[in-house]
Amino acid sequence: MATSSAPIVVGIDVGTTKVCTLIAEITDDDQCEVIGVGIAPSRGLKKGAVVNTEDVIDAIGASLERAEKQSGFDIVSAYVGISGAHIQTQSSPGVVAVRHADRQITEDDVDRALEAARAISLPSDREIVHAVARNFVIDGQDGIKNPAGMIGHRIEVHTTIVSGATTSVSNLERCVQRAGIELKSLVLQPLAAGLAVLTEAERDLGVAVIDIGGGTTDVAVFMEGALTYAASIPVGGQHVTNDITVGLRAQFATAEELKVRYGCAMPEMVPEDRVVDVAAFDGGSDGTEVSLREVSEIIEPRMVELFELVQEKLALAGHRDGLPAGIVLCGGTAQLGGLRRLASDMFRTPVRIGTPTGVYGLTDQIMTPAFATSVGLLKFGLEEGVEPVSGPRVPALSGIGSALSGWLKNLLP
């Protein structure tokens, strides 16, 4: 296997429809250069959670193999995305005293404050996935993002605790380990997606990212630069395809192709007389003409229902009236025709489609909304301050962790 003088970061997005492994080299100027992409069809997941371990291990293995072959690297460890309806968030404060005589706050003090915030009572069947630092208060002074190096007596941190069901977390961890990979950290999928598609200004102002995948729709809210809320709804693009199968009595492959090529979430955008012959599709043997307006009329109620569920989640998070920077849609289903317009009509807020940015190299396949989470995992790894994770002779990393600032540095795995 090849070796590199640069450190490597690896992200594995285990989605309901695809598993995507990305391998990136971290360049001297702290950028991710993608050198391996492995996309494999996913099996063994339902609504974002593992239901068949062997199938998931096989899918991860196939995706790893492709990425390894392309990059020439042997993957040792990776950041892995987690999602599912079991994910919950809550706020938690942590307070500690600064003990040094000079009162200068160190990274250790910050870590102790975060540790204190993690000391919450969770039901025995749940565990913490992240403690995200939102804001620090030092001796009463609010709004501090990175207190290390400041002088103070008392550190107070306000965090977003992301927790998941222990069974779901353990099942995913087990699949990754059995695929031969050491888990660096589980990363909440919409947190990763937010890193890939949101601008810093959006995250500061307040924004919701909605990742509409195959089996799930993940919602994450960012305010003042940090994650403040996340939830997962067990509805995605596969439900739309299923609806078309039932509505038109078509095969799944035909319905999927109809949706991807011609689907529209707003019937009024489709001319009433437009038809396509599904016999021309791969796997489509029905040999009938289908009205695209009719297809759209099948899609619309499912997407309206989904956005109503998202609205309920946002209302629960205290954002009934929307967020200042609006909504960013990503995930494969974000590419559905008319979806942006439907969303802006329903949420009455600016809506844009989010495509991942900020990574270089072999990006042809991955710069689409479906790969927001995959790209975000690389960015998470980069910002957390990676150690060498791949290749037998990769030299130790220096400098990246210390060069980083910002809220991500304060995430604990």
Ligand X SMILES: Nc1ncnc2c1ncn2[C@@H]1O[C@H](COP(=O)(O)OP(=O)(O)OP(=O)(O)O)[C@@H](O)[C@H]1O
Does position 4 interact with ligand X (CB under 6 A)? The reply is no
- Judged by beta carbon, residue 155 or residue 303, the one nearer ligand X is 303
Min separation Cβ 13 and ligand X, Å? 6
Residues 231 and 244: their CA atoms lie apart, in Å, by: 27
- Asked if 295 touches ligand X (CB under 6 A), the answer is no
| CA gap 298, 265 in Å, rounded | 9
Query: Does 237 contact ligand X by CB under 6 A?
Result: yes
Residues 353-382 that bind Mg ion (CB under 5 A): 373
Choose among ligand X, Mg ion, none what residue 61 binds, the Cβ cut-off being 5 to 8 Å by kind. none
DSSP 8-class letter at 6: S
How near is the Cβ of 213 to Mg ion at its closest, in Å? 4
What's the token pair of residue 282? 């791969």
Q: Is 96 in the site for ligand X (CB under 6 A)?
A: no
Does residue 147 touch ligand X according to CB under 6 A? no
Nearest approach, Cβ of 374 to ligand X (angstroms)? Answer: 8
Residue in 36, 332, 361, 388 binding ligand X, rule: CB under 6 A:
332
Which strands sit side by side in the sheet containing 141-144, from one edge to the other? 88-97, 154-165, 126-138, 141-144
- Is 238 near ligand X (CB under 6 A)? yes
Nearest to residue 407, comparing CAs of 250, 242, 222?
Answer: 222
Question: Which residues are CB-contacts of 268 (< 8 A; sequence separation ≥ 6)?
Answer: none
Q: Which stretch binds ligand X (CB under 6 A): 148-156, 273-281, 327-335, 356-364?
A: 327-335
Of 71 and 241, nearer to ligand X (C-beta) is 241
Q: What whole-number distance in Å separates Cα of residue 227 and Cα of residue 302?
A: 28
Q: Taking CB under 5 A as the rule, does residue 15 contact Mg ion?
A: yes
Under rule CB under 5 A, residue 194 binds Mg ion = no
Cα distances from 125 to residues 50, 82, 122, 170, 210, in angstroms, run 17, 17, 8, 11, 27
- Rule CB under 6 A: say whether 336 interacts with ligand X: yes
Annotate 246-310 with DSSP letters as a single string.
Answer: HHHT--HHHHHHHHHHH-BS-GGGS-TT-EEEGGGSTT-----EEEHHHHHHHHHHHHHHHHHHH
Pairwise CA distance, residues 274 & 31, whole Å: 46
| Binding partner at 71 among Mg ion, ligand X, none, C-beta below 5 to 8 Å by kind | none
List the single partner that 370 binds among Mg ion, ligand X, none, CB under 5 to 8 Å by kind: ligand X
Mask: binding to Mg ion, 211-230, rule CB under 5 A, as x and -?
Answer: --x-----------------
The DSSP code for 374 is H
Choices 129-137, 321-329, 331-339, 402-410; region in contact with ligand X by CB under 6 A: 331-339
Among 214, 284, 338, 391, binds ligand X (CB under 6 A): 214
**Is 168 near ligand X (CB under 6 A)?**
no
Please report whether residue 171 would count as binding ligand X according to CB under 6 A.
no
Alpha helices in 102-251 (DSSP H): 107-118, 166-178, 189-197, 200-205, 237-248
Size of interface with ligand X, in residues (CB under 6 A): 24
H/E run at residue 315: helix 292-316
Which secondary structure element, helix H or strand E, spans residue 188, and what is its range? Answer: strand 182-188
Considering beta carbons, is residue 206 or 215 the nearer one to ligand X? 215
Q: Which of 25, 68, 256, 383 binds ligand X (CB under 6 A)?
A: 256
Binding site for ligand X (CB under 6 A): 15-18, 42, 48, 213-216, 236-238, 241, 256, 259-260, 263, 331-333, 335-336, 370
